[in-house]
Amino acid sequence: MKLHEYQSKQYFAKYGIPIPKGRIAATSSEAKQIAEELGGRTVIKAQVLVGGRGKAGGIRLAKHPAEVEELATQILAMKIKGLPVRKVLVDEAANIDKEIYLGITNDRAARRPVMMASAAGGVDIEEVAKESPEKIIKVHIDPLLGLRDYQARDIAAGIDLPRDYWRTFGKIAKGLWQVYNRSDATLAEINPLVITSDKRLLAVDGKMVLDDNALFRHPDLSEMRDLDVEAPSEIEARKYGLSFIKLDGNIGCMVNGAGLAMTTMDIIKLFGGEPANFLDIGGGASSEKVAAAIRIILNDPNVKAVLFNIFGGITRGDEVARGVLTALDEVKSDIPMVIRLVGTNAEEGRQILADANMVTAESLADAAEKAVAMAAA
């Protein structure tokens, strides 16, 4: 789950990271009022959860509070990469001498958090990472000890930060570690961290991505979820404990298990079809869950055929078959479907389905072939 810039920066401030003065506004008149309170030059920033806000015109500088209402009106009317701008952040504009990048994330291969910094901060940090990775300093952190003072100094020296700033920088780096650690983030990033013309360090922009699995520890943060970034079908699926991702093809799939669901998508493609979604119904296959899954799949008007691939395992095949039939009784549909059932009591399950005039398949390849033919018919 991603947090907005203003939410991230407010969280940063709790851990002693200096941020610009500013507030969030939902209307242009609120924005104007905030700008008048701040006085002087301000920045009006669209709060949407996509990159490239600046390039899309979602970040504008106002030299005078009088300009703010007009600029905020423009930004609040925008859609950036399909997402509506519902709020703007109005911040005092800093006089920037230098921009630094500072971030912390999980290094999967090292099985540790890694703090990264670069003297070449600003919007194009991904470019820097690609073109000149040597300009990015990386320090791995022992998750049992946290960021050590000497590590923060090493980073400061590594990015050629003048010694006068080391102390403040160290506090900010340790603050960012706290942010990452206390919020169960998978990414906490200040970009840019600026040196102002009056020699202060200031976190001008911030980004946090939280671990969905850890949200139970953070009810305050999970309330901040912005539902605009998720497809309505994905939100609906989550309610039923289904893992669903919408894709562009026309063959809907319902599978138990994530690896098998991916494999089912792959084999549809292998036989010349295009999957309409990824859907893992998880363990068991109660008729309630199956019904919800079918509803979500059939909601997509592109779907021309549906493939069920259920590996019974410990769940019994006859139970799964009955669950599917009950669900189909509830969700009436003319879309052709093929069901492949394997594992414990699979034969009984297939018989039950055949008696109900459902198309069944013997193997995964057989199922994919049938589904592709159905979708093409």
Distance CA 291, CA 326 (A): 8
Judged by the rule CB under 8 A, the positions of this chain that interact with another protein are 106, 108-109, 111-113, 142-144, 181, 184, 186, 211, 213-214, 216-217, 243, 245, 247, 255-263, 265-270, 275, 278, 280, 311, 313-314, 342-344, 363-365
Question: Measured from the CB of residue 214, what is the shortest distance to another protein in angstroms?
Answer: 4
- The CB-of-101 to another protein minimum distance in angstroms stands at 15
Shortest distance, CB of residue 275 to another protein, whole angstroms?
Answer: 6
- Radius of gyration over every alpha carbon of the chain, rounded to an integer in angstroms: 26
Decide if 265 contacts 278 (C-beta within 8 A).
yes
DSSP symbol at 299: T
Q: Which is nearer to another protein, 257 or 336 (by Cβ)? A: 257
Give the DSSP H/E element, type plus range, for residue 116: strand 112-118
Smallest distance, another protein to C-beta of residue 155, A: 20
Sign, CA torsion 270/274/279/283:
negative
Q: Which of 189, 240, 319, 369 is catalytic?
A: 189
Nearer to another protein, 145 or 227 (CB): 145
Residue pair 192/212 in contact (Cβ under 8 Å)? The answer is no
Among 6, 11, 15, 101, the active-site one is 101
Rounded to whole angstroms, how far apart are CA atoms 331 and 246?
20
* CA 39 to chain CA mean position, Å: 36
CB of 256 to another protein, least distance (A): 6
Q: Residue 377: exposed, middle, or buried by beta-carbon count in 10 A (0-12, 13-18, 19+)? A: exposed
Q: Is 165 one of the annotated active-site residues of the chain?
A: no
Termini Cα distance of the chain = 40
Examine the residue annotation and report whether 180 is marked as an active-site residue of this protein: no
Residue number with CB closer to another protein (36 or 184) = 184
- Indicate the residue among 119 and 247 with the shorter CB distance to another protein: 247
DSSP readout, 199-250? S-EEE--EEEEE-GGGGGG-HHHHTT--GGGS-HHHHHHHHTT-EEEE-SSS
Residue whose CB is less far from another protein, 157 or 270? 270
Q: What is the nearest approach in angstroms of another protein to the Cβ of residue 108?
A: 5
Using the minimum distance from each CB to another protein, give the nearer residue, 90 or 255. Answer: 255
Per DSSP bridges, beta strands 185-196 and 136-140 are: unpaired
CA atoms of 125 and 103, how far apart (whole Å): 11
Point out the residues that are catalytic. Answer: 101, 189
